[in-house]
Structure 1
Amino acid sequence: MSSDRPTLPPVRLPSDAELARDALVAPLLARAVRLARWAGPETRVGAGGELVEEQLPAAAEALGLTADEDGAAYASEAWRVAVDTGLVVVEEPQDDENGGEGGAVEAGGPLALVAGGAPQDILALWLEALETALDDATAPLVDDLADIIGEDGDLDLDALDWDPQHEAEFLDGVLGNLYLLTVAEGGSGDAPVPLPALAASMLVPDDMGEPTDDILEQVSEAMMRLDDQFRVLEPIGLVEYQPVDEALMVEEGEEPPASVADDEDVSRYGMVKLTPLGLYGVRARMLEAGMDAPAVGDLADKGADALLDGVAHYPEASARAETHAWLARREALPAARELLVAAKGADAGSPLRRLHCQQALSLVGADAEPAVREVLDDPELGGLARVWLAELGAADVPAPPEAMVFWLSIDTIAAQLDAGNVGDQEELRELVEGLTSQHSQFFDAAWRVDHPATPEVLEAMGRLHRDKRVAKEARKAAFKARSRAGD
Structure 2
Amino acid sequence: MSAERPTLPPVRLHTEAELARDALAAPLLARAVRLARWAGPGTRVGAGGELVEAQLPAAAAHLGLTADEDGAAEASEAWRLAVDTGLVEVEDPADEEAEPGAEDGPGEEAEGTVTAGENLALLTGGSPQDVLAIWLDGLEAAHADATAPFFDDFADLVGEDGSIDFDALDWDPETEAEFLDGVLGNLYLLTVSDSAAGDAPVPLPALAASMIVPDDMGEPTDDILEQVSDAMMRLDDQFRVLEPIGIVEYQPVDEALLAEEGEDATPPADDDDVTRYGMVKLTPLGLYGIRARMLDAGVEAPAIGDLVDKNADALLGGIAYYPEDAARSEVELWLARRGAGGAAAELLDAARGEDPQAPLRRLHCQQALALVGAEAEPAVRAVLDDAELGGLARVWLAELGAADVPAPPESMIFWLAVDTIAAQLEADGDLDELQGLVEGLSGQHSGFFDEVWRVDHPATADVLEAMGRLHSDKKLAKDARKAAFKARSRSGSAG
Structure 1 residues 169, 276: CA separation in 2 closer, same or farther (over 3 Å shift)? same
Q: 1:452 aligned to 431, 453, 458, which one? A: 458
For residue 7 of structure 1, report the CA deviation from its aligned partner. Answer: 0.4
The match for 1:473 is 479
Residues in 2 aligned to 1:106 and 1:66: alpha-carbon distance in whole angstroms = 26
Q: Secondary structure at the match of 1:272?
A: strand
TM-score normalised by structure 2 residue count: 0.93
Residues 1:228 and 2:234 aligned together: no
For residue 149 of structure 1, report the CA deviation from its aligned partner. Answer: 6.4
For residue 455 of structure 1, report the CA deviation from its aligned partner. Answer: 0.9
C-alpha contact (below 8 Å) 1:323/1:360 kept by paired residues: yes
The letter of the residue matching 1:443 is F
The match for 1:329 is 337
Q: 1:433 aligned to 435, 439, 455, which one? A: 439
Q: Secondary structure at the match of 1:348?
A: coil
Residues in 2 aligned to 1:302 and 1:129: alpha-carbon distance in whole angstroms = 32
C-alpha contact (below 8 Å) 2:159/2:165 kept by paired residues: no
Map 1:40-439 to 2 at 5 A.
Answer: 40-67=40-67, 70-94=70-94, 96-99=102-105, 100=108, 101-142=110-151, 144-145=152-153, 157-185=166-194, 188-250=197-259, 254=262, 256-262=264-270, 264-421=272-429, 424-439=430-445
The match for 2:17 is 17
Residues in 2 aligned to 1:54 and 1:362: alpha-carbon distance in whole angstroms = 68
For residue 64 of structure 1, report the CA deviation from its aligned partner. Answer: 2.4
The letter of the residue matching 1:171 is L
C-alpha contact (below 8 Å) 2:7/2:301 kept by paired residues: yes
Q: Could you list the per-position Cα deviations for residues 398-444 of structure 1 after superposition, in whole angstroms to 9, with x for gaps in the alignment?
A: 111111100000000000000102xx211211221222222222122
For residue 449 of structure 1, report the CA deviation from its aligned partner. Answer: 0.7
Q: Secondary structure at the match of 2:197?
A: coil
The letter of the residue matching 2:367 is Q
The letter of the residue matching 2:52 is V
Task: State the 4+ residue runs in structure 1 displaced beyond 4 angstroms.
Answer: 66-69, 146-152, 154-157
For residue 123 of structure 1, report the CA deviation from its aligned partner. Answer: 0.7
Structure 1 residues 263, 469: CA separation in 2 closer, same or farther (over 3 Å shift)? closer
Q: Secondary structure at the match of 2:281?
A: strand
Q: Secondary structure at the match of 1:264?
A: helix
Q: Secondary structure at the match of 1:411?
A: helix
For residue 145 of structure 1, report the CA deviation from its aligned partner. Answer: 3.1
Structure 1 residues 110, 449: CA separation in 2 closer, same or farther (over 3 Å shift)? same
Residues in 2 aligned to 1:313 and 1:186: alpha-carbon distance in whole angstroms = 17
Structure 1 residues 163, 399: CA separation in 2 closer, same or farther (over 3 Å shift)? same
C-alpha contact (below 8 Å) 1:90/1:106 kept by paired residues: yes
C-alpha contact (below 8 Å) 1:181/1:187 kept by paired residues: no
Q: Could you list the per-position Cα deviations for residues 99-137 of structure 1 after superposition, in whole angstroms to 9, with x for gaps in the alignment?
A: 232112111111121111111111111110111101111
C-alpha contact (below 8 Å) 1:45/1:93 kept by paired residues: no
* Root mean square deviation, CA, Å: 2.2
How many residues get paired? 483
For residue 347 of structure 1, report the CA deviation from its aligned partner. Answer: 1.3
The match for 1:28 is 28
C-alpha contact (below 8 Å) 1:299/1:306 kept by paired residues: yes
Residues in 1 aligned to 2:46 and 2:208: alpha-carbon distance in whole angstroms = 38
Q: Secondary structure at the match of 1:297?
A: coil
Residues in 2 aligned to 1:291 and 1:214: alpha-carbon distance in whole angstroms = 32
Bigger mean CA deviation after superposition, 69-78 or 93-102: 93-102
C-alpha contact (below 8 Å) 2:57/2:67 kept by paired residues: no
Q: Secondary structure at the match of 2:280?
A: strand
For residue 263 of structure 1, report the CA deviation from its aligned partner. Answer: 5.6
Residues in 1 aligned to 2:159 and 2:456: alpha-carbon distance in whole angstroms = 82
The letter of the residue matching 1:483 is S
The unaligned stretches of length 5 or more in structure 1 are none
Q: Secondary structure at the match of 2:44?
A: coil
Percentage identity across aligned positions? 75
Residues in 2 aligned to 1:29 and 1:278: alpha-carbon distance in whole angstroms = 14
Structure 1 residues 22, 139: CA separation in 2 closer, same or farther (over 3 Å shift)? same
Q: Secondary structure at the match of 1:325?
A: helix
Structure 1 residues 69, 156: CA separation in 2 closer, same or farther (over 3 Å shift)? same
Structure 1 residues 292, 412: CA separation in 2 closer, same or farther (over 3 Å shift)? same
The letter of the residue matching 2:410 is E
Structure 1 residues 434, 174: CA separation in 2 closer, same or farther (over 3 Å shift)? same
For residue 466 of structure 1, report the CA deviation from its aligned partner. Answer: 1.6
Q: Secondary structure at the match of 1:188?
A: helix
C-alpha contact (below 8 Å) 1:185/1:315 kept by paired residues: no
Residues in 2 aligned to 1:418 and 1:195: alpha-carbon distance in whole angstroms = 36
Structure 1 residues 3, 389: CA separation in 2 closer, same or farther (over 3 Å shift)? closer
C-alpha contact (below 8 Å) 1:148/1:160 kept by paired residues: no
Structure 1 residues 450, 68: CA separation in 2 closer, same or farther (over 3 Å shift)? farther
Residues in 2 aligned to 1:308 and 1:3: alpha-carbon distance in whole angstroms = 9
For residue 197 of structure 1, report the CA deviation from its aligned partner. Answer: 0.5
Q: Could you list the per-position Cα deviations for residues 264-307 of structure 1 after superposition, in whole angstroms to 9, with x for gaps in the alignment?
A: 13111111011111001100010011110000000011111111
The letter of the residue matching 2:75 is A
C-alpha contact (below 8 Å) 2:233/2:265 kept by paired residues: no
Residues in 2 aligned to 1:72 and 1:257: alpha-carbon distance in whole angstroms = 29
Bigger mean CA deviation after superposition, 266-275 or 98-107: 98-107
The letter of the residue matching 2:436 is E
